[in-house]
Structure 1
Amino acid sequence: MQTVSSDVHVRTEAPADVAAIRAVTEDAFREHPHSRQTEAQIVDALRSAGALSLSLVAHRGGRVVGHAAFAPISITGGATGWHSMGPLSVAPDAQGAGVGAALVWHGLRTLRQLGAAGCVVLGEPAYHGRFGFRSTPALRLEGAPPGCFLVRPFERLIPMGTVRFHPAFDLADPGDWTFP
């Protein structure tokens, strides 16, 4: 368990967390301008399919205030050991307090310890760049806006190819995402 502050902790999801994760995810994306409001359904579908490589919660005072989902991806050319990060959700009243950063760092560290080759995310370059995510022409996600599909390798080599997320992500269209 990782401590963000004296009262916020990050740990692996437990069965009793499922309803709270859904609520936090819905709340986190309710007003998000790029959301189709499918993020909670994506997490539920990944969980139902047994496709969560890692599911982390941040809790404070007995309440779940954040969640990060990680799932395996496929890459044309056969590279293995890569995962996606997302949805990443933080309750609106806990945003800006380092909860999201703690979830990301904990998730990346855990994936690396599990022998993963790297992680990808579709998201805001300025936010995810501080965790070592970068855009690269080597890996592509069809329909992703330029510069918003980001890669964080744990090894020196980045494979070349097109990434396919788990079918649960078909609920979201990466072409709908635009960033300032």
Structure 2
Amino acid sequence: MEKLWIRREAEEDISSIHRLVARSYETARHSAHNAPQIVEGLRDADVLSLSLVAIQGFDVVGYIAASPVLISDGTGGWYGLGPVAVDPERQNAGIGGSLMGQALQELREGGAGGVVSLGDPDFYRRFGFEVIEGLAYRAAPAGELLAMNLCDSSVPQGSVSYHQAFGSPYQD
């Protein structure tokens, strides 16, 4: 198997990212199947704080994004992690885990207070995400908003709001 490289997205990756994210979320249980449009909306609004691709050979085989979230208690420096996408033919080969590790490292190094995620709880729990009592997102089924504190600050309490690219303009 070819070596996996993870790097920031480049302009020439954008169409490959779109195709990859669409394929990856086509049958995903934890998805409204609008992930490609979310990525485009975040990119167009210039709020992609992190946009990483995983490359094998010459192919984009994985993708992860992070963007700022608002928390009703005023806590700043928290990010929403996702979408996370891996080529369906290459899933369960460690690509998603490698992307997650790199994204969390870069967010820590950048001074992020913490991250929240929506999606497959089993995937996110492997990296230390957990349900935090008092932190909520009204559009998520119970137990699917997971969070991780990345620094020694206190964990926020309140309602999480994602960028409007996720479907609602910074509202819970």
Please classify the TM superposition score into its range, dividing by the shorter chain length. over 0.9
CA apart distance, 1:35:
2.9
Taking only aligned residues, the RMSD between alpha carbons, in angstroms, comes to 1.3
The answer for unaligned runs of 5 or more in structure 1 is 172-180
Which aligned pairs between 1:86-97 and structure 2 lie closer than 5 A?
A: 86-97=82-93
TM-score (norm 1): 0.89
Once residues 31 and 129 of structure 1 are traced to their aligned partners in structure 2, the CA distance between those partners, rounded to angstroms, is 21
Please report how far the alpha carbon of residue 159 of structure 1 lies from its aligned counterpart in structure 2 after TM superposition: 1.1
User: What CA distance in whole angstroms lies between the structure 1 residues aligned with 2:122 and 2:29?
Assistant: 17
SS, match of residue 131 in structure 1: coil
**d(CA) in 2 for partners of 1:30, 1:145:** 20
The CA deviation string for residues 28-67 of structure 1, in whole angstroms up to 9 with x for no partner, is 0112234332100000000000010100000101110010
The alignment status of 1:166 with 2:163, answered yes or no, reads yes
Q: Percent identity?
A: 38
1:16-95 correspondence runs (5 A): 16-95=12-91
Counterpart residue number, 1:111: 107
- Measure how far apart 1:6 and its partner are: 5.1
Q: How many residues align?
A: 167
Structure 2 CA distance for aligned equivalents of residues 34 and 123 of structure 1: 5
Q: Runs of 4 or more off by more than 3 Å in structure 1?
A: none
List runs of 5+ in structure 2 lacking aligned partners.
none
TM-score calculated relative to the size of structure 2: 0.93
Q: Could you tell me whether the CA contact under 8 Å between 1:138 and 1:158 is conserved in 2?
A: no
Question: SS at the partner of 2:126?
Answer: helix
